[in-house]
Amino acid sequence: MSEVGLLLVSLKIAAGSTVLIVLPALALAAWSWRRSGWWRAIVDSIAMLPLILPPTAVGFVLLVLLGRRSVIGGMLERIGATILFTQTAAVIAAAVMSFPLMFVMFRAAIDSTDPRYFQIARTLGASPLRAFMRVTLPLAWRGIVAGVILAYCRAIGEFGATAMIAGNIPGRTQTLALAIYQRVEAGREDDARILVVYVVLLALTSLIASEVLIGRHRKKTA
Amino acid sequence: MIAIDIQQPLAHFTLEVSCSLKAPVTAVVGASGSGKTSLLEAIAGLREATRGRITIDDAVLLDSDRGFSLPPEKRRVGYVPQEIALFPHLRARDNILFARRDHDRLMSLAQMLELVPLLDRYPSSLSGGERQRVALARALMAQPRVLLLDEPLAAIDQPLRERILVHLRRIRDQERLPMIYVTHQPFEALALATYCIVLREGRVIGQGRPDDVLRDPQIGATTDVDNVFEVSDPHHDRENGITRVKTSDGGTLVLPFDLVADATFPLVVRISGEEIVVFGKRPESVSSRNVLEGVVSDVRVYEGRADVTITAPMPVRVRLTRSAVEELQIAPGRRVWLALRSRSFRLIG
């Protein structure tokens, strides 16, 4: 498969996974922001677990959850849908693996806003949701955008969990990360090098964009 | 009427306040850390641990015995915190319209608070006093049942141009909205409030008319004898360095021209009662530009000193030694003359 094709598959899977987790990550970060104590510590830790677990362990859990013998897998089979070893599986793997990064970034961005604005918005008649959407979120937007970019980068680089549940099918589930592995395995190091350049350029541009945004956010909230 | 009977655990003590507020403006006076801000936050519903009961007329805001606490957005309590907290990402206009998008009301508030030229500016480009006025308009837009103000003069650098007290008086008179005004400066309480609560370490140590409460030596809120006047209708005499103004009580005062030359009227001025000289006879050839004739209406004698109120025709408070009281035979009904140096006046906003 051509490099451009690989790039497109990777971008598509990463985009799908990022879109999938934006709202849940935001909702969880907002919930966490308003809580303290044990519940917050437990829920936050679970949300961040994929960040420190071996990706293969996460992949294995997903494999079990989505497999035919599981409740979810069984239900999907009854309606004739298969997920394992499709692009959907690659999207799910990337989503689960990049979720913690997005969540941590969102929470830091929301934490950096002054809770006083949220309180004042409520005394002006805004419900907690409205106060959050109209005041806290706009004040945190740079950090939020940076979180989306970083999660997107993480999704592009995702390898372990994707290999476990989506396989490495050229044209369908083979991403840049998987293709590099495959080419090196096959002794095609020159081909792999081109892909590495692609990935580095892609990640670097995204990271610089994100750093610039976070830097401005810091300045603004200082 | 606002009825408050609450307990609020704080870091070093428990705030315990029980009072019924019927006055248009109630001042809550106390030193830093006496629990003033916590009281406002408890009324606004921003403190979760508040116990007790808060009602405004028929509306119950808090009744912890019945497990009831109205969330802040349903309390209709306008709160302007000390740090003002205008939403930095919204222009002044959108800050004001946050609670309700009522453009007619926006314009009437902007006119009352002199905000029309500022509406398209962001908070970062406004001065302390301008922010305060935008925050007042924002709170008023929400149609509150009560306005809570936390040290509204604290963020003001240039009282001359800001005149926050004048605007607050306008709100009091035009909006007919009860206000609770937190301050550690007793003279601010005198300028605006008709009722006063003094807090110390979370407890109410005195309440009643500001004049009585603030000057009560038992309470010890202040030992100052401040006179606060709202003045308007200036007649400048640049050559002689003076400006004649009218007080809201119908009196006339002379102020230094350079003090008020740039000011927008009306404004509020203050003079300490320790800087006023009392004469038993009409003085002749005095350098003080204000010589007022009046009648003693009240004398309060403390250890070694006396605080005397003279109607001239606005009430003027003067602090004298007991020796002076005896020598001049100061007693209610006594006719006296007062000398107020124009240079002793200060602008307070």
Rounded to a whole number, what is the distance in Å from the CA of A139 to chain B's nearest CA? 7
The whole-angstrom separation of Cα B217 and Cα B226 is 15
The whole-angstrom separation of Cα A179 and Cα A6 is 8
The whole-angstrom separation of Cα A124 and Cα B78 is 7
pLDDT, tens only, B198-216: 999 999 999 998 878 887 7
Residue at token pair 């200060």: B346
* B75–A123 CB contact, under 8 Å: yes
DSSP state of B217: T
What's the number of CA atoms in the CB half-sphere (13 Å) around residue B116?
6
Confidence of residue B267 (pLDDT cuts 50, 70, 90): confident
Angle (CA) B95 B140 B91, round 5°: 15
Q: What is the pLDDT of residue B188?
A: 81
DSSP string, A81-129: ---TTSHHHHHHHHHHHHHHHHHHHHHHHHHTS-HHHHHHHHHTT--HH
CB contact, 8 Å: B49 with chain A?
no
* A124–B71 CB contact, under 8 Å: no
Angle (CA) B28 B34 B40, round 5°: 50
Which residues face B319 on adjacent strands? B307
Residue at token pair 């926050």: B164
Of B79, B87, B88, the CB nearest to A123: B79
Q: What is the pLDDT of residue B255?
A: 94
Task: Answer yes or no: are the C-beta atoms of B170 and B230 closer than 8 Å.
Answer: no
Nearest residue in chain A measured CA to CA from B143: A124
- How many other C-beta atoms lie within 10 A of the C-beta of residue B114? 15
Question: How far is CA B84 from each of CA A22, A39, B79, B127, rounded to the nearest angstrom?
Answer: 33, 33, 9, 12
Nearest residue in chain A measured CA to CA from B83: A116
pLDDT, tens only, B87-141: 999 999 999 999 999 999 999 999 989 899 999 999 999 988 899 999 999 999 9
* A126–B83 CB contact, under 8 Å: no
Q: What is the pLDDT of residue A222?
A: 45
Confidence of residue A139 (pLDDT cuts 50, 70, 90): very high
Contacts of B121 (CB under 8 A, 6+ apart): B91, B92
Q: What is the pLDDT of residue A23?
A: 97
Is B115 in a helix, a strand, or coil? coil
DSSP state of B247: E
Task: Answer yes or no: are the C-beta atoms of B113 and B168 closer than 8 Å.
Answer: no
pLDDT, tens only, A87-105: 999 999 999 999 999 999 9
Between B78 and B304, where is the model more confident? Answer: B78
* Inter-chain contacts counted by CB atoms under 8 A, chains A and B: 56
The whole-angstrom separation of Cα B190 and Cα B57 is 26
Q: How many helices (H) and strands (E) does chain B have?
A: 11, 21
* B89–A122 CB contact, under 8 Å: no
What's the number of CA atoms in the CB half-sphere (13 Å) around residue B8?
28
DSSP state of B153: T
Of A117, A125, A135, the CB nearest to B142: A125
Which CATH number does the domain A3-221 belong to among 1.10.3720.10, 3.90.1640.30, 3.40.640.10, 1.10.510.10? 1.10.3720.10
DSSP state of B11: S
Nearest residue in chain A measured CA to CA from B70: A123
As a whole number, mean pLDDT of residues B21-40 equals 92
CB contact, 8 Å: A138 with chain B?
yes
Element (H, E) at A182: helix A176-185
Rounded to a whole number, what is the distance in Å from the CA of A210 to chain B's nearest CA? 21
Share of chain B above pLDDT 90, in %: 64
| Amino acid letter, B228 | V
The whole-angstrom separation of Cα A151 and Cα A94 is 9
Q: What is the pLDDT of residue A217?
A: 55
Looking at the predicted structure, is the pLDDT value of residue A169 above 70?
yes
- Least trusted range by pLDDT, from A153-162, A181-190, B68-77, B160-169: B160-169
Contacts of A215 (CB under 8 A, 6+ apart): none
* B89–A138 CB contact, under 8 Å: yes
What's the number of CA atoms in the CB half-sphere (13 Å) around residue A61?
11
The whole-angstrom separation of Cα A111 and Cα A104 is 10
- Per domain, the residue ranges of chain A are 3-221
Contacts of B210 (CB under 8 A, 6+ apart): B27, B186, B189, B190, B193, B194, B195, B196
As a whole number, mean pLDDT of residues A158-181 equals 91
Task: Answer yes or no: are the C-beta atoms of B198 and B221 closer than 8 Å.
Answer: yes
Q: What distance lies between CA A48 and its chain's CA centroid?
A: 11
Q: What is the pLDDT of residue B250?
A: 83
Task: Answer yes or no: are the C-beta atoms of B273 and B227 closer than 8 Å.
Answer: yes
CB contact, 8 Å: A127 with chain B?
yes
Q: What is the pLDDT of residue A22?
A: 97
Is B69 in a helix, a strand, or coil? strand
For β-strands B25-29 and B195-200, DSSP reports them as: parallel
Residue at token pair 């010890």: B220
Is B170 in a helix, a strand, or coil? helix
pLDDT, tens only, B154-171: 877 655 445 788 888 888
Comparing CA positions, the residue from B323, B337, B189, B331 lying closest to residue B276 is B337
| Amino acid letter, A168 | N
